[in-house]
Chains A and B, each alone.
Chain A
Amino acid sequence: MTIAAEARPVPQLTQSWLVRLFDYKPFLIFICLLPALGLLLVFLSYPLGLGIWLAFTDTRIGRSGVFIGFENFESLWHDPVFITSVWNTLLYTGVATVAKFGLGLWLALLLNNHLPFKSLLRALILVPWIVPTVLSAIAFWWIYDPQFSIISYVLVDVLGWRDTYVDFLGSPWPARWSLIAANVWRGIPFVAISLLAGLQTISPTLYEAAMLDGANAWQRFRHVTLPMLMPILAIVLTFSVLFTFTDFQLVYAITRGGPINSTHLMATLAFQRGIPGGQLGEGAAIAVAMIPFLVMATLFSYFALARRKWQQGEDND
């Protein structure tokens, strides 16, 4: 090889040297991983660590802070707005997730029937998930308008079920439920279409066997559909919980945390304190307070994945 290379003219030599370098496996692995890992390390891992560090400092915009230990967390612990935001986040995640999965599973089961225009239907159902969240949130803002809400119009002027227009966003509890409704609306398509994909992988022979054994519709759902759907359900659930818990856009677009800070989620509060408020340290502390929940969700996802491998066997990759 070396002799042959020496016999060639010089440009050929450099080229073949380069070509051989790019065929040298360790170097190739390094080069291939460099762009992805480089970007992720600089703009994801490093900021993640930096965020944790900032949470223990009193950094403000334009002034680097000093280490202050747990002071941020202590002051947050006594901050009613922060405590409200934690409860809001838990309520928002809990209620919206249950509703999304109940309705999404129902929709998936409906779509799993033999239907005309099935692919068109599936395409239409996914639209809320494709469109930028903020832009559909603005539509909800308009739907929840105190004077010109179309929901109020239907309830008061068409159906006559109420006498007054609903003040959706003017007081804390109605505002919270309105936000949850908007989040459920946006989340159903993702849950439904993912679960539909899971449903379609369940072999019809299982249902036939269950029917031969005399199982009724509910029993077939409970003992065939649900166990077979469990692995994909667990993963979709993890993603859904993760993204609902850290949701920012809907609340920021519809209420901006109002009225009187009563609908803040942890993410919106972190933004409000950190960027317009300039208290980077405190904002980072709020963001860091979300991490334990996220770690739990991630572990859940990991074990669900592991369980799926075990369930399906290695040949069924």
Chain B
Amino acid sequence: MTDQASPAPRPHLVDKESTGVIDWSSGPRRFITLYLPLSLFVIVLLFPFYWMAITAIKPNGELLDYKNNNPFWVKSPTLENINKLLFQTDYPQWLLTTMTVATVATALSLFASVLAAYAIQRLKFKGSNYVGLAIYLAYLVPPSILFIPLATLIFQFGLYDSQLALILTYPTFLIPFCTWLLIGYFKSIPYELEECAMIDGATRLQTLWKITLPLALPGLISAGIFAFTLSWNEFIYALAFIQSAEKKTVPVAVLTQLVEGDVYHWGSLMAGALLGSIPVAILYSFFVDYYVASMTGAVKE
């Protein structure tokens, strides 16, 4: 198909700017078919966050009275919910735990993945493709079918209710992802550069450290922030392997510790959800392009 189409002369029918899927011409039509649905999508996709934020700063009176207050706005914003969260619960402790677990699990996974990707992509050996495929298949094993046997394993190892349980189990879904991403990046680096270094007397590990890794830095950043986000968001292992309230991670703690009895304190719940989202949101805002690259990269490879 590509071969047939490529020699065709470029007509000047299409506006060079448009990618040519649909060439909308006039204003009103473009509004109805493009901007209107697009803004609806954006509003629906972002509304829950707006709602979370507005609920988090509402005083209780406004929160539960829609007749006299417009629920979409807040008249007298309050920081009481956030204050309560930070100073009357273990929230800072949960944040710290989540941060520690996510950072260490990411570092461990990156270390293992760089080496594995290097071995598979650069030290071509008999069966390296099969090892690559096996790691890809590992990515398709979801945590939902692993957490029960893993729980018994964690118990046997005496790791139950410890951060180490999470640090050691998170790599099971981080390593396959990072390895595949890095294999793709290593592929794009010319092998000649490494050969030159090795001719000059560098060992393989020196080449990896001084030539390949600096060139693969965008890939490392992508894999790193992505792995961090995945660990930050992880839920089922943290729910199953951690019992003590003060050792829980943010997603689990918000759901299990902030819900007290039948009366839900929506204000502090929403504040907890919002604060727990902020670290990944900040990371995301700095590295949007890396996120997109890693997400689409993982799908393409």
Interface, chain A (partner B; CB < 8 A): 19, 22-23, 25-26, 28-29, 31-37, 39-40, 43-48, 50-51, 54, 59, 103, 106-107, 109-115, 119, 121-128, 130-136, 138-140, 142-143, 145, 148, 150, 153, 157, 185, 188-190, 193-194, 197, 199-200, 203-209, 211-212, 217, 220-221, 225, 227-228, 232, 235-236, 239, 242-243, 246-249, 252-253, 266-267, 270-271, 274-275, 280, 283-284, 287-288, 290-291, 294, 297-298, 301, 317
In whole angstroms, what is the CA distance A298 to B134 when docked?
Answer: 12
- CB contact under 8 A between A205 and B6, given known A113-B19, A227-B1: yes
Contact A301 B64 (CB under 8 A): no
- Give 3 closest A-B pairs by Cβ, nearest first: A36-B116, A32-B119, A197-B296
Q: Is the interface of A mostly helix, strand, loop or mixed?
A: helix
Contact B269 A138 (CB under 8 A): yes
Interface, chain B (partner A; CB < 8 A): 1-2, 4-6, 8, 10-11, 13-15, 17-22, 24, 34, 37-38, 41-42, 44-46, 48-49, 51-52, 55, 63-64, 66, 71-72, 108, 111-113, 115-116, 118-120, 123, 125, 131, 135, 137-138, 140-153, 168-169, 171-172, 175-176, 179, 187, 203-205, 229, 232-233, 235-236, 239-240, 250-252, 254-255, 266, 269-270, 272-274, 276-277, 280-281, 284-285, 288-289, 291-292, 295-296, 299-300
Listed by A's residue number, 21 A-B pairs whose Cβ atoms lie within 8 Å are A22-B204, A28-B119, A32-B123, A33-B115, A33-B119, A47-B149, A51-B146, A113-B24, A121-B42, A127-B49, A127-B281, A130-B280, A132-B232, A133-B233, A134-B252, A136-B48, A185-B48, A208-B11, A211-B14, A246-B143, A287-B144
Contact B2 A287 (CB under 8 A): no
In whole angstroms, what is the CA distance A293 to B282 when docked?
Answer: 37
- CB contact under 8 A between A110 and B41, given known A39-B168, A40-B175, A44-B141: yes
Specify which chain B residues have a CB less than 8 angstroms from the CB of A249 in the assembled complex.
235-236, 251
In whole angstroms, what is the CA distance A40 to B139 when docked?
Answer: 10
| Apart from A206-B2, A207-B21, A294-B140, 13 more pairs, CB < 8 Å | A35-B111, A39-B172, A39-B175, A51-B146, A126-B292, A134-B255, A138-B254, A139-B273, A145-B266, A148-B66, A185-B45, A235-B299, A290-B144
Contact B71 A153 (CB under 8 A): yes
- CB contact under 8 A between A199 and B273, given known A128-B45, A134-B254, A206-B5: no
Specify which chain A residues have a CB less than 8 angstroms from the CB of B19 in the assembled complex.
112-114, 199-200, 204
Contact B235 A54 (CB under 8 A): no
Q: How far is the CB of B223 from chain A (nearest CB, A)?
A: 13
Specify which chain B residues have a CB less than 8 angstroms from the CB of A135 in the assembled complex.
250-251, 254, 272-274, 276-277
Q: Which of B66, B115, B280, B288 contacts A31 (CB 8 A)?
A: B115
- CB contact under 8 A between A271 and B140, given known A110-B38, A113-B19, A130-B281: no
Specify which chain A residues have a CB less than 8 angstroms from the CB of B15 in the assembled complex.
114
Contact A48 B141 (CB under 8 A): yes
In whole angstroms, what is the CA distance A204 to B144 when docked?
Answer: 42
Specify which chain B residues have a CB less than 8 angstroms from the CB of A128 in the assembled complex.
45-46, 48-49
In whole angstroms, what is the CA distance A157 to B70 when docked?
Answer: 11
Q: Which of A23, A37, A189, A206 contacts B116 (CB 8 A)?
A: A37
Q: How far is the CB of A155 from chain B (nearest CB, A)?
A: 13
Specify which chain A residues have a CB less than 8 angstroms from the CB of B116 in the assembled complex.
32-33, 35-37
Q: Which of B37, B137, B140 contacts A110 (CB 8 A)?
A: B37
Contact A123 B49 (CB under 8 A): no
Contact B144 A248 (CB under 8 A): yes
Contact B172 A40 (CB under 8 A): yes
Contact A267 B144 (CB under 8 A): yes
Contact B21 A225 (CB under 8 A): yes
In whole angstroms, what is the CA distance A33 to B125 when docked?
Answer: 12
In whole angstroms, what is the CA distance A301 to B72 when docked?
Answer: 44
In whole angstroms, what is the CA distance A235 to B254 when docked?
Answer: 34
- CB contact under 8 A between A205 and B144, given known A135-B254, A135-B277, A248-B236: no
- CB contact under 8 A between A112 and B21, given known A33-B116, A138-B255, A242-B140: yes
Q: How far is the CB of B280 from chain A (nearest CB, A)?
A: 6
- CB contact under 8 A between A284 and B270, given known A28-B204, A127-B49, A203-B5: no
